Amino acid sequence: MATFGWAYINCADASSTGSGSSGPAYSLQFVTESGGATTGSALFSYYTASQYGYDPSTAVLSGNLIVTGAISASVYHIEDIAVIDATGSTTFGNTNDDEHHRTGSFVVIGRNIAPSAYTLSASVVDGRTSVRGFSGRYRRITANGTIATDEYIIGCSGSANQTLYLPSASAAGAGALLIVKDEYLNRASTAVYISASVPAGGFKIESDAYYILTGTMPAVNMYSDGSNWFVF
C-alpha cells in the first residue's frame, strides 16, 4: 500500500512551470496547470491573525461564490441583499423564545403579481399594517368555556345559559381584540354571560364584572387596555 507524506514546495523556484507556488501573501492556493503549479489571488485570502480590519482565522472572498451543497454557520450575516431567490420552504428559529428582527418595511405579494396587489404590508413610515383580507382564529363553544389569549372570534351555540370567562386583560395585553357572537337562533329565556372577573379575578368589562348577551343572536366587540375590557 502506498503512503504519502508532506509535499515540499520550493518557493525560490515558484516562477518555473509545473513547480512551486506564487501569488500575494495570505492568498489561498489553487492549481493552474496540469503539471501541478499553484498560484493565488488577493481576492481569495486567509488571515491567521488580525489583518486589514479582519478578525483572526478569517477567509475573505471578493467575488461570486456558488455552492451546490449546504452551508452551515454559527452566525450568518449578509449585507446589501438585492434578491433572495429560492425554492421550497424555509424555517427560521428552533425555540419558542427566538426573535427575528428586521429594519425597514415588509411586504408580502405573490410571485409575478403587481406590488399594489399585496397580501400583507407593514410600513415603518406610517406605522400601519395593511392586509388584503383578514381571518382571525375562530372557536365555537357549546357550553361554558374559557377564552384563550390567542382567540379572536367566539361563537356561542348552546341552547342553555352559557358563561364565557375572558382571559385577564393584563394577560391579553393592551390592544387585544375579541368578538363574541350568539349563534343560537331560537334562544328564548337563556343568555350568554361574559365574565371578566372569574376565574381571573379583579377585572371588569367597563364597570361591570359581567356582560350579558340577550335577544336574537346579539354580538359584542371588546378590546383590552391591559387593565380592563371595554365594549366598542
> Which pLDDT value is given to residue 70?
87
Averaged in consecutive runs of 10 residues, what is the pLDDT profile of the chain (232 residues)? 50 52 88 80 93 91 91 84 80 90 89 83 93 93 95 96 94 96 92 82 86 95 95 96
Length of the chain, in residues:
232
> Which pLDDT value is given to residue 111?
79
> Which pLDDT value is given to residue 117?
84
> Which pLDDT value is given to residue 187?
86
pTM: 0.68
Instruction: Return the C-alpha cell found at 39.
Output: 498560484
Judge whether 107 and 129 are in contact, CB under 8 Å.
no
Judge whether 193 and 212 are in contact, CB under 8 Å.
yes
Instruction: Write down the domain spans for the chain.
Output: 138-231
Q: How far apart are CA 126 and CA 27, in angstroms?
A: 49
Q: How far is CA 227 from the centre of its chain?
A: 29
